[in-house]
Structure 1
Amino acid sequence: MDSPRTNATARIGEDDRDSAVRRVREAYAEEHLTHEEMDERLGRVLAATTHGELAAALDPLPAEDPGGTETIAAAGGRIRRRGVWQVPRYLKVESAFGRVRLDLSRARFEHPVTAIELNLGTGNAVIVVPRDAVVDVSGLATGWKDVRYTPRQPSGPGAPRFRLSGAMGYGRLRIRHAWR
């Protein structure tokens, strides 16, 4: 959920509901809830439509682990990540000059939503996401070229989600879905 100041009558989004379901499951796995309590709270979470109803279903569960932040940076040259690697909840990619290639197709995600902040001066970037991923590029500002991305439809309910933000100076961002 957003913050303690979030309007209790505001409608919740899919990400809020996913986060709440994960919190209930984690509380059960850590033996803070019995199986019956977990079932009851999951029912309330799935039926909730507002932040107030969601907060009531989660009260007094332990706070959610905010996850880590990792920064990948290079002043010049190439940034490349591929293969099997652990992706934190928040990933910052910074490069003044050079190309960036992030292959997330075989990566492991601990959280259903991963925020990727790109701060790139010059150079192109390519991000390969899993086949069923959902990508939101609305938070990314581009200076010279547009973002090349064609969303894949439909994505399943457990599909990883990515929110891109930041700024790209001179260069193009291309996002594509993995073949497998």
Structure 2
Amino acid sequence: MSSPDDLPRDPAPAPDDLPVPADPRSRLRAADADRELVHQILSAAMERGSLSLSEYEERSGKVVVAKTFGELDDLTDDLPVGQLGVPMPFVGETTVSRVQPASGRSPVQNRLALMSGVEVRGNVTVADTLNAEAIMGAVDIDLREAEFTAPVLTIRCAAIMGGIDITVPPDVGVDVGGWAVMGGFGGKASGPGAPGAPTIRVVGFALMGAVEVKRKERKPHS
């Protein structure tokens, strides 16, 4: 009769066979700022050619309903994030700019219109970057009454079967440098501004959509 020591034993699991411990971060709830950052990454990947139009649309739709960091990470794990030029926050830092406006208001930095319409207008505060995405929707940006907190404001646009309208006051400098496929990107607003006035750079792309920049006089105060 065989003793217990003579019985065959299962081999010890190889290191590669050991279960991978779950990442606690993947279960944490994501905030709107986290979803907006992923939208920026996807837009930059689309502009660079790392994502096709259909892939961009599919992933953008998933970002809107994502609830955890794990769901967001799945949408960007195969992208060269470090090569896309998207400013990444440091650990413990929010995606809100560190520029401190005189009014104390938080700068508007992101607007997403997904089969809807959103706007930026009135007495709002802007920092050095504003991301605008219109996916089968419309983004209306009116900066005539805005509080500028940086010498250069870069508006990064992504218009996919949608439209982004940007209205600026007559005294700012404007530099438009985007591209369009089966759409339009531009306007007649490009040109220098008054001495000391901020400059607005409009970059990005329009795919079967349009980005238009125009100058208008400020509304008279009553």
Q: Please report the TM-score for the alignment, with normalisation by the length of structure 1.
A: 0.57
Could you say which structure has the larger radius of gyration? 2
Aligned match of 1:162 in 180, 200, 205?
200
Where in structure 2 are the equivalents of 1:87-102 lying within 5 Å?
Answer: 87-102=126-141
How is 1:9-88 mapped onto 2 (pairs within 5 angstroms)? Answer: 67=99, 70-88=109-127
- What SS does the corresponding residue of 2:193 show, helix, strand or coil? coil
Task: Say whether 1:177 aligns with 2:215.
Answer: yes
CA RMSD of aligned residues (A): 2.2
Are 1:132 and 1:152, in contact at CA under 8 Å, matched by a contact in 2?
Answer: no
Where does residue 172 of structure 2 map in the other structure? 133
Distance 1:154 1:109, change over 3 A: closer
Question: Gaps spanning 5+ residues in structure 2: where?
Answer: 1-96, 100-106
After superposition, the C-alpha distances for 1:41-88 in whole angstroms (9 at most, x for unaligned) are: xxxxxxxxxxxxxxxxxxxxxxxx864782211322012111110012
Give distance in 1, aligned partners of 2:123 and 2:108: 18
The code of the aligned residue for 1:97 comes to: M
Higher relative strand content: 1
Q: In terms of mean alpha carbon deviation, does 150-159 or 71-80 score higher? A: 150-159
The answer on whether the counterparts of 1:69 and 1:92 sit within 8 Å (CA) in structure 2 is no
In the alignment, is the contact (CA less than 8 A) between 2:193 and 2:199 conserved in 1? Answer: no
Task: Say how many residue pairs are matched.
Answer: 115
Residue 110 in structure 1 maps to residue 126 in structure 2: no
Give the fraction of aligned pairs with identical amino acids, expressed as a percent: 28
> Scaled by the length of structure 2, what TM-score is found?
0.47
User: Which runs of 5 or more structure 1 residues have no equivalent in the other structure?
Assistant: 1-64
Map of 1:119 onto structure 2 = 158
1:143 to 181, 196, 202: 181
CA distance, structure 1, for counterparts of residue 193 and residue 112 of structure 2: 31
Shift of 1:170: 1.4
Mapped to 1, the partners of 2:209 and 2:190 lie a distance apart of: 24
